[in-house]
Amino acid sequence: MSSKVDFLRSGDVLTIDLRRPSITRNGRILEVKEASAPDPSYRRFITEIHQLSQGKSYCRLCSHYSPFTKKAIQRDYYFGDDYSNYPVQTNTKYALDLLLKHGCRNRLLDVGCALGVYTKAFVEAGFDAYGTDISSFAIDQAVRLVGPDRVKCADLDTEEIPFPGSFDTIWMWDVLEHFARPSAVLEKVSQRAAPGATLLLHTSNSESLSHRLFGRDWEGYSDYSHQGVDDVNCTSLRNWLVELGWDINALQSSGVWMSGIDSVMLRLQEAFDSNPELTVFLEEAELGDFITVIASKAPKS
């Protein structure tokens, strides 16, 4: 949709409502042209703002997400705006190399197994692997890969792990930030870790530099299922793991999480990607957007 807006001044607020659709300036509805409501299953949209100031024309492209709340995680989550194609974006070789590097043992729990891509790779590599996920759609897909006995649907915020016994390896890749109470879920999972078990965890960092710079526009808020994203950071993870009896072998913060077509974002991404000193700075100051943890469960005394 498009609308002609007079010169914007400091403090002016433009509000775009894609559902109506409409545009308001400081609460006053503006005339809208070429308006049509978008497909409700897609969240991402782009704004192009032109402004004329003192004879010069300025243009800015920005990408945004329509907020969802309590929306079921189904097909359009894995094959839409959140993941354009989840299986293609899943690096099973990296995962298997990591398990081999850290000497991970046989019985494995894949927390947040999604479509079962990792679980299938673990089984094929010889692990006695089991996966659980909150999405019934994802589990239906995972069953096709590894069978109904190896993957079960469960909301670990409110339910127990749907498999008996303990686990030698726990894989929690990009899942902890999705739980409403990440510390409680980590405790629940830790209780099922065998003595000497290995935890491999990858998650977001709420104390990152980009979060501090962009506030509510931080990419960590783009996924509507990131219920506990504000609670997870290097400090909280260290405290939780130590309290739960884990020995931390490695905890590293790295990377900058930006996406879209905004020119400022893209230039910042380019600067961090191409400058080794900035990469080292993020790691040493623990200001990266992502956290990787390798930990071992201490034997019971």
What number is the average pLDDT over the span 160-189? 98
The number of domains in the chain is 2
Q: Residues 58, 142: one domain?
A: no
Does one domain contain both 172 and 52? no
Residue after which a domain boundary falls, among 24, 44, 65 = 65
Q: Are residues 110 and 215 in the same domain?
A: yes
**5 within domain boundaries:** no
The mean per-residue pLDDT over the stretch 204-228 comes to: 91
The sign of the dihedral angle between the CA atoms of 40, 115, 93, 234 is: positive
Residues 53 and 93 reside in one and the same domain: no
Residue 204: partners with Cβ closer than 8 Å, 6 or more residues away: 177, 220, 226, 229, 232, 257, 289, 290, 291
User: Considering only 18-22, 109-113, 144-148, 284-288, which range has the smallest mean pLDDT?
Assistant: 18-22
| Claim to verify: residue 157 and residue 90 sit in the same structural domain | yes
Q: Which of 28-32, 96-100, 281-285 has the lowest mean pLDDT?
A: 28-32
Residue 186 in contact with residue 240, Cβ under 8 Å? Answer: yes
Predicted confidence band of residue 73 (pLDDT cuts 50, 70, 90): confident
Show Cβ contacts of residue 67 under 8 Å, excluding neighbours closer than 6 positions: 43, 224
What's the mean pLDDT in 199-226? Answer: 92
Name the pTM for this structure.
Answer: 0.83
CATH number (domain holding residue 215): 3.40.50.150
Containing domain of residue 35, as a range?
14-65
Q: Is-contact 126 108, C-beta < 8 A?
A: no
Query: 70 in a domain, yes or no?
Result: no
- Same structural domain, 31 and 107: no
Nearest to 256 by CA among 300, 195, 212: 212
Q: Is the CB of residue 44 less than 8 Å from the CB of residue 82?
A: no
The whole-angstrom distance between residue 34's C-alpha and the CA centroid of its chain comes to 34
